[in-house]
Structure 1
Amino acid sequence: MIKKKFQFIYITALVSLLSYSCAQSQQVYKSPKGYDLNKPTKYKMPDDLLEISGISFSKGNPATFYAIQDEEGKLFYGKLGADRVSHSKFGKHGDYEDVAISGNIVTVLKSNGKLYTFPLNQIAEVELTNVQEQQNLLPSGEYESMYADEAARKLYVLCKNCDDEKTTKSSSGYIFNIQPNGTAQAAGNFKIEVKQIKKLTGDSKIKFRPSAMAKNPVTKEWYILSSVNGLLVVTDANWDVTATYDLDHKLFLQPEGLAFDKQGNMYISNEGDEFSRGNVLKFTYSGAKR
């Protein structure tokens, strides 16, 4: 009788453990209205984009995506889901983090704050010659997030970790006017208050480290990724944080790029590793209103 009693306890405990593990594996993550962060369409990237670090579209058209990766000064472009993509060389080896397109101007952000601009209509060239390098526009620090507002012809850059700020308090952002020749002219700044993120996440020790940003063309809100924090942050037009969303690491291995198409569908790129290829996840916008 005692033996059967222990067998019953053992089986009960095992069933409970398996049920708990199953529940954990099926955890549903909260999503912004109009999206489901649990059910993306996945596009695997070719080997050249294992370390994809930034993505963009021209005029919100998803027929062609444009991307960069961490180590090579090349702009990659092609169709999502294709086995191969084309590329055009614009610079030497370096840590390139984001790409933005405004009209015929392509801007690439290097982690040290340097900007590289060149004409979009010349990328059929294997090696670009009409490239402008702009430096000393941003304070010393580490940068990974950039967005171009084509309608306003403005460029937004958000610091990941700057020397003139404390990441426990705020993340500094900088606004530039995009000149017809592609150069950036200082036009203001903004801040993301980390205390607002702390309040919504419940994490009083968080150090916010943005890795990508984009404006939602439908809701006009700002969406900001932080790969280190495994977090998606949403702000209103005035940069006040309105929501935060935890990201499932099994889906978002290393989210480094963010873009929207003109229909409001959201695309998040993830770097790969020795076991997984880089990918782009598409989250279809359902049209839900806020």
Structure 2
Amino acid sequence: MSMRILEIVVIILGLAGIVAFSFSNKFEKQIHEQVKESREYSVEKMWVLPEILEEVSGINFFANDKLAAVQDEDGIIFIYDLAKGEIEREIDFGGNGDYEAISIKEKDAFILRSDGVIFEVKDFLSSPQVTTYEPEIEHSVNFEGLCLSKKADKFLLLTKDEDVKNGVKNVYSFNLKSKQFEKDIPYKLETEKGIFKDYKGSFRPSEIEINPKTGEFYVLDAKHPRLLILNSTFQVLRLITFDEDEFEQPEGIGFDTEGRLYISNEAGDSDANILQVELKPVK
């Protein structure tokens, strides 16, 4: 009789454990879904990049489903086909260096090195010819971002570290008509005031791009994965925090021909990747 009771107890405890495990999994799944729902964005697609792009530092679309990418160490433009999910071609433009961003204007590619030197690769897809332009800046500056302002016919360059004081980061400009760096500072980014006070860590820009649909500036922070959105006069509109498990080190921004947003991440615990991201409207 006692053995029978013991068997029943074991069965009841086993069933209770199964129910508890099932409830726990269901609860965790609900919490995960609630967290995802509360985010200000959703990841729509992901492309895992090959090892040669594990330090991908900049991306820029030049055709439907095709983008140009650079990485930190090698002077190579990588042509990546999103439809095929593979590198289609490699174009040499320079030696080893700390390359941070790439921007395309018509048939020409422009690559930014961290010391501010711009590499112009004319007719980069057919018969590339390279010209370099050096900034005339008296102090050392660590550049990270480059974007094309079609309206002004200029490139805008953004620094990562303070090059003035009190958290102010200058935005420099390169005139595409004169092919010269301009002395005037068109914008300044103050990263220790306003919205930044509510977030951890200093804001260290890793890339800048202009949304072709809205004209807004999009600025990434790679150290504390975030996306800063500013209006056309560089006034802060929104600061979005990314999940660090998904965005290990966001370094590149691109918009395709339909205006969809893409963000590239350097490798960390996971492989380097490109994510198609949709931002949710402000409630």
TM class by shorter chain equals 0.7 to 0.9
Q: Which residue matches 2:42?
A: 38
Q: How does 1:190-201 map to 2 (within 5 A)?
A: 190-194=187-191, 195-199=193-197
Deviates more, 1:88-97 or 1:73-82: 73-82
Structure 2, unmatched stretches of 5+, are 1-12
Q: Do residues 154 (structure 1) and 158 (structure 2) align?
A: no
Structure 1, unmatched stretches of 5+, are 1-6, 32-36
- Listed one character per residue, the Cα deviations across residues 229-275 of structure 1 (whole Å, up to 9, x for unaligned) are 211111111111111111011211110001112422101001113x5
Q: Do residues 103 (structure 1) and 106 (structure 2) align?
A: yes
Deviates more, 1:208-217 or 1:257-266: 257-266
CA contact (8 A) 1:46 1:85 kept: no
Deviates more, 1:69-78 or 1:96-105: 96-105
Residue 220 (structure 1) shift: 1.5
Residue 78 (structure 1) shift: 2.9
Bigger Rg, structure 1 or 2 = 2
- Listed one character per residue, the Cα deviations across residues 23-75 of structure 1 (whole Å, up to 9, x for unaligned) are 664422532xxxxx2232111222221111001123xx333201100110111
CA contact (8 A) 1:113 1:138 kept: no
CA contact (8 A) 2:79 2:87 kept: no
For residues 30 and 241 of structure 1, the distance between their equivalents in structure 2, rounded to whole angstroms, comes to 19
For residues 151 and 40 of structure 1, the distance between their equivalents in structure 2, rounded to whole angstroms, comes to 30
Q: Which residue matches 2:85?
A: 82
Moved beyond 3 Å, runs of 4+: 13-26, 122-125, 182-188
CA contact (8 A) 1:145 1:210 kept: yes
Q: Which residue matches 2:58?
A: 54
Taking structure 2 as the reference length, the TM-score comes to: 0.80
- Listed one character per residue, the Cα deviations across residues 132-162 of structure 1 (whole Å, up to 9, x for unaligned) are 2423358522111110123431111111003
The equivalent position to 1:230 in structure 2, one of 203, 225, 228, is 225
Change (3 A) 1:145 1:96: same
CA contact (8 A) 1:103 1:150 kept: no
- Listed one character per residue, the Cα deviations across residues 149-194 of structure 1 (whole Å, up to 9, x for unaligned) are 2343111111100342333xx22211222127x5544454211222
Residue 211 (structure 1) shift: 0.5
Aligned residues: 265
Q: Which residue matches 1:34?
A: none
Residue 76 (structure 1) shift: 1.1
Change (3 A) 1:117 1:289: same
Change (3 A) 1:129 1:219: closer
Taking structure 1 as the reference length, the TM-score comes to: 0.79
Q: Which residue matches 1:118?
A: 121
Higher relative contact order, chain-length normalized (CA < 8 Å, sep 6+) = 1
Q: Which residue matches 2:73?
A: 71
For residues 185 and 163 of structure 1, the distance between their equivalents in structure 2, rounded to whole angstroms, comes to 16
SS at match of 1:85: strand
SS at match of 1:76: strand
CA contact (8 A) 1:269 1:281 kept: yes
The equivalent position to 1:220 in structure 2, one of 215, 220, 225, is 215
Change (3 A) 1:65 1:258: same
The one-letter code sitting in structure 2 at the alignment partner of 1:218 is K
Change (3 A) 1:84 1:122: closer
Identity in percent: 27
- Listed one character per residue, the Cα deviations across residues 50-107 of structure 1 (whole Å, up to 9, x for unaligned) are 111001123xx33320110011011111312433331111111111111111233321
Change (3 A) 1:56 1:137: farther
